[in-house]
Structure 1
Amino acid sequence: METRTLSLPDAEIVHDVHGPLPPADGREVLLVIGQPMTADGFSDLIAELPDRTVVAYDPRGLGRSTRSDGSALNDPSLQAEDLHVLITDLGAPVQMFASSGGAVAALALLAAHPEDVSRVVAHEPPVMGVLPDAELAERANDAVGRAYQERGWGAGLAAFLAMSMWQGEFTEEFLARALPDPAQFGLPDQDDGTREDPLLSGTSAPVTSYQPDLEALRSVGDRLVLAVGEQTGEAITARTTRALAEALGTEPLVFPGDHGGFAVGDPSHPGDPAAFATRLREVLAARG
């Protein structure tokens, strides 16, 4: 593995290259992206793909990547432009696996630079605006931010977990519930005073509020594959994926596990990276 830094006018994009560039077997680079998750979140999946040249990156301002643009917002459209430069440097086109907020950045990239990728597997993009209960979902998300600002990291993450695990549409009854006890999730209830978590602080608001360009995404055909975890059920990221697929006139493909099924994860709720990698290989090879 080689760690490289791509210098942009207002950012330094750190990325890890696993395997030779260009790939020795002539296949395209596989670029794996998340947000706010950084490159290290893909280590289990990459270990199951030893025959591929895989590149994982830290989005600007997250992990090892820096930014000097005066903003802390994680904007999918801006991340898409960073990815465009990175992919050009790697040797376009690439194949891509994109998770969560990274999947939203992948949607923005496909709309702006479809020539950059031959196939994107967008795994559970949390684009709330496509939901029939979008307004209630936004209010639930806002409550997470308030819990974090008012009570600290443990309370904020507990509220996020309760929201992200909720099955089905959000209701006024859900919004009226008391905030969960952080101890219920094994989280601290004391406030350490920090407010810099990218998941909870509001800096990722442009991700969940991103409006996909449906016309542009329809035009890319089978370059875009929407993917949903078989164990995610009716949680919000599965519902956003299915709603987006319906808007595009497609069906999401089912992958093993839940939202984090590509990582070993918590022993009480493990993923299966080997099974996930097998499914990913099938889908990446099936274009056309």
Structure 2
Amino acid sequence: MNRTQATGPARTSTLEVPGATLHYEVRGEGPLLAMVGAPMDARAFAPLADLLAADHTVVTTDPRGIHRSIVADPAQDSTPELRADDLARLLTHLDVGPAAVFGSSGGAVTALAMAQSHPGLVDTVVAHEPPLDELLEDPAASHARTEQIIATYLAGDVPGAWRMFLHQAGIWLPDEVFQAAFGSPRDRQQAADEHFWFARELRHTTRWRPDLDTLRSGPVRVVVGIGVDSAGQLCDRTSRALATALAVAPVSFPGDHTGFVDDPAGFADRLREAL
């Protein structure tokens, strides 16, 4: 089989975990590869997962509180530790590990938290552009800007919050692209997911500080991935700080922060090499 060939529809199911019902999808056969985002749900990874399913069992999931993964208490915060525990329960349920875990953005933080707390379930973590503000030279300033973003969103200025967020991230969008993405009315699900991320997930994800000693000395191999087009962006800087702290060379991936969406074929080839 051509390794770039898709392998048919995903098998979908749910799993009950403490405080939530997780939606997850399974594709293909072979070594287990879990792919996680935060706040991105399984849909963002589907084209990449289809390609990698040619030679892997690929698991994708909606993180708790997002889209199809329903939480019992919408006021409960989503922390990296809690999401790592969800993923550990999912991989234990599937019973086909140990797994490689690819996480992007907040999902990379989830993957690193899992490497610390559940090292027996994962052998490799590919952390693609984790927003680890705690590793910056002045984390307090970054945290203050994040608090301002959250407050702006909760006050009802959705476009304003997104403009501030993108500015902090170092991501520039043409005005027409920004308006199409963030200036138009949201449907009910999109609005709910967005609110959960700003109110319950963003703060804990960006404030999480990895246990660098545990990651350096533990059994899990950590690969730090950075988009070739992300130079100078916030997650480029946090990822390079993580790679330096772990004494590993960062691995370049196609595109920028969402390179796996924009170029799934090129990204799949690079991820296979990294694994």
TM-score after normalising by structure 1: 0.82
Q: Percent identity?
A: 38
Q: Which moved more, 1:64-73 or 1:275-284?
A: 64-73
Q: In the alignment, which residue of structure 2 is the partner of 1:188?
A: 183
RMSD of aligned alpha carbons: 2.6
**Gapped regions of structure 1 (runs ≥ 5):** 168-179, 264-270
Contact 2:21 2:70 in 1 (8 A): yes
What is the distance in 1 between the residues matched to 2:44 and 2:227? Answer: 17
Structure 2 letter corresponding to 1:277:
A
Q: Cα offset for 1:60?
A: 1.4
Give 1:54's aligned residue: 58
Q: Look up the match of 2:132.
A: 127
Decide which of 14, 17, 42 is 2:45's aligned counterpart.
Answer: 42
Task: Name 2:26's counterpart in structure 1.
Answer: 17
| AA of the residue aligned to 1:6 | L
Q: Is the Cα–Cα contact under 8 Å of residues 15 and 90 in structure 2 kept in the other structure?
A: yes
Q: State the match for 2:4 in structure 1.
A: none
Q: Distance in 2 between matches of 1:11 and 1:119?
A: 26
Aligned counterpart, 1:246: 244
Could you tell me whether the CA contact under 8 Å between 2:88 and 2:121 is conserved in 1? yes
Q: Distance in 1 between matches of 2:260 and 2:174?
A: 28
Structure 2 contact 146–203 (Cα < 8 Å) conserved: no
Q: Which residue of structure 2 aligns with residue 74 of structure 1?
A: 78
* Aligned residues of 2:115 and 2:220 also touching (Cα < 8 A): no
Residue equivalent to 1:170: none
Q: Does residue 159 of structure 1 match 2:164?
A: yes
Distance 1:225 1:253 in 2: 7
Contact 1:155/1:181 (CA < 8 Å) preserved in 2? no
Partner Cα separation in structure 2 for residue 38 and residue 147 of structure 1: 24
Can you list the C-alpha shifts for 1:77-100, whole angstroms capped at 9, x where unaligned?
Answer: 011111111111122211111111
Give 1:199 shift: 3.5
Which consecutive residues of structure 2, in runs of 5 or more, have no partner in the other structure?
A: 1-9
Alpha-carbon distance between aligned partners in 2 of 1:166 and 1:43, rounded to the nearest angstrom: 24
- 1:15–1:236 Cα change, 3 Å: same
Q: Offset of 1:161 from its aligned partner?
A: 1.3
SS at match of 2:24: strand
Aligned-partner Cα distance in 1 for 2:142–2:105: 16
State the AA in 2 paired with 1:57.
Answer: T
- Checking the alignment, whether the CA contact within 8 Å between 1:97 and 1:122 is kept in structure 2 is yes
| Residue 140 (1) aligns with residue 142 (2) | no
* Distance in 2 of aligned mates of 1:278 and 1:225: 15
CA contact (8 A) 1:100 1:124 kept: yes
Contact 2:147 2:203 survives alignment (8 Å)? no
Alpha-carbon offset, residue 200 of structure 1: 2.8
Partner of 1:212 in structure 2?
210
Aligned pairs for 1:221-260 (under 5 A) are 223-260=221-258
Q: 1:184 to 1:277 in 2, by over 3 A?
A: closer
The alignment partner of 2:93 has SS state of helix
Shift of the 189–279 alpha-carbon distance from structure 1 to 2, 3 Å rule, reads closer
Q: When the two structures are aligned, how many residues end up with a matched partner?
A: 259
AA paired with 1:106?
A
Task: Give me the whole-angstrom Cα distance separating, in 1, the residues matched to 2:178 and 2:70.
Answer: 32
Give the distance between the partners of 2:135 and 2:18, measured in 1 at CA.
34
Q: Which amino acid aligns with 1:56?
A: T
